[in-house]
Amino acid sequence: MPILNGLFDLFINIPLFVQYILLPLCLLAFIALFPFKSKLAALLVVIPTGLFLSLLYFSAVWEMSGGFYARYVLVGLFFAAAVLAFFKARKAPFFRKPKWGVWILYGFGLFAVIVLGIFNVNIFRAYSYKEEPIRLQFPFRDGTYLINDAGDGSVSNLVNYHYQDAENIRLNYYQSERFANDIVMIDDFGFEGRNFGNEESLEDYYVFGVNVYSPCDGLVYEVQEGYDNVPLNGTITDTGNGVAILTGDVYVVLWHLEKDSIVVQEGDYVHAGDLIGTIGNSGITVTPHLHIHAARGHFMNGEGVPVLYDGREPMKNTLFKEN
């Protein structure tokens, strides 16, 4: 949908704090304070605002701005503002013929309901697929980890950008990464780094240097090593360090590892829970995280396979708390 993708591209250029915090708070304040003259007018503001917050709730990268748990606060404020709006409009008629200029606002509200509704439907469609998932063990221990990307990227790039990413398409990686996951570590406030979204070094990210463990039993099919980390705001010059494990007929790929940290070699047989290496920031990456995907046919150019971790389906903005 080129029009919807264009709107999305325009929106994502807005600073994250404005997207996730300031704009929602302005909308909630408007809902709570504006004297709606009809119930329809209230609905055409409350419904698109709710759909917008739903979109953010499931697809925003909260750990980079505002913190993961801020989304719960906004949901609570939305319900409070909606109740207040309809309480104030309870004696108003359902429809009151407005002035011609207000018709434009009605039309915009209806348009927003349609567009935001389509985005939300696609998010939920991205977690419904016919392919049989591979069952994996979660690749981290000791901490709280956030799924940053997940789901069927061919349906929604809001929850999983990998399949529709221009660079992945150019390199022919996109099909294998259809169900790829990016995983970060967060603190008790829901941030992935020590400076609340304004990290200055790789070491500021909690996941940097954390051990990665094999998510399955299998043969170490490929090891790529020797590449330095990409510094923050640095230039990507290589594909980075990582390991591909062949389990049955499926390749499980773990990437963006630290240089000289990988402790397995090609031809080794590993068991689920064996140490693989540590998280770095090597390859096609902006900030430290673990990229993991499963594919058949070839580990980078094959067909993507959905995954389960410890029996749970990873969804964007879901947590895995490991001991």
Query: What is the arithmetic mean of pLDDT over 129-149?
Result: 97
Does residue 295 surpass a pLDDT of 70?
yes
Length of the chain as a residue count: 323
Q: Is the pLDDT score of 48 beyond 70?
A: yes
Average pLDDT over residues 172-198: 95
**Which CATH number belongs to the domain containing residue 141 in this structure?**
2.70.70.10
Task: Mark which of 80, 97, 125 sits at the end of a domain.
Answer: 125
**59 and 15 within one domain:** yes
What is the rounded average pLDDT of the residues 167-191?
A: 96
- The helix (H) or strand (E) run that includes residue 24 is helix 23-33
Instruction: Check residue 245 and give left, alpha or beta (phi > 0: left; psi -120 to 50: alpha).
Output: beta
Domains identified in the chain, total number: 2
Q: Are residues 76 and 194 both part of a single domain? A: no
What's the pLDDT score for residue 7?
60
pLDDT-based confidence at residue 67 (cuts at 50, 70, 90): very high
* Domain residue limits at 170: 134-322
The pLDDT-based confidence of 233 (bands split at 50, 70, 90) is confident
Q: Do 92 and 163 have their domain in common?
A: no
DSSP class of residue 205 equals B
Among the candidates 68, 96, 125, a domain finishes at 125
Q: What is the pLDDT of residue 3?
A: 59
Same domain, yes or no: 26 and 144: no
pLDDT of 91: 87
Give the alpha-carbon dihedral of 55, 58, 64, 68, to 10 degrees.
Answer: 120
Of all residues in the chain, what percent carry a pLDDT higher than 90?
Answer: 81
Are residues 302 and 191 both part of a single domain?
Answer: yes
- Shared domain for 206 and 267, answered yes or no, is yes
Instruction: Calculate mean pLDDT across residues 275-286.
Output: 97
Mean pLDDT of all residues in 286-311: 97
Residues 299 and 266 in one domain: yes
Name which of 177, 268, 183, 260 is nearest 217 in CA terms.
268
Give 130's contacts (C-beta < 8 A, 6+ positions apart): none
164, two tokens: 């529709």
Residues 114 and 171 in one domain: no
The pLDDT value recorded for residue 10 is: 64
Q: Of 92, 125, 158, which residue constitutes the final position of a domain?
A: 125
Residues 236 and 154 in one domain: yes
Question: Locate tokens 């325009």: which residue?
Answer: 10
pLDDT at 204 (0 to 100): 97
104 and 165 in a common domain: no
Residue 142 has pLDDT above 80, yes or no: yes
Q: Do 177 and 308 fall into the same domain?
A: yes
Question: pTM of this prediction?
Answer: 0.92
Which element (helix H / strand E) includes 114?
helix 100-125
Per-residue model confidence (pLDDT) at position 9: 64
| 119 and 189 inside one domain | no
Q: Could you report the per-residue pLDDT of 115-127, keeping only the tens digit for each? A: 999 999 999 999 9
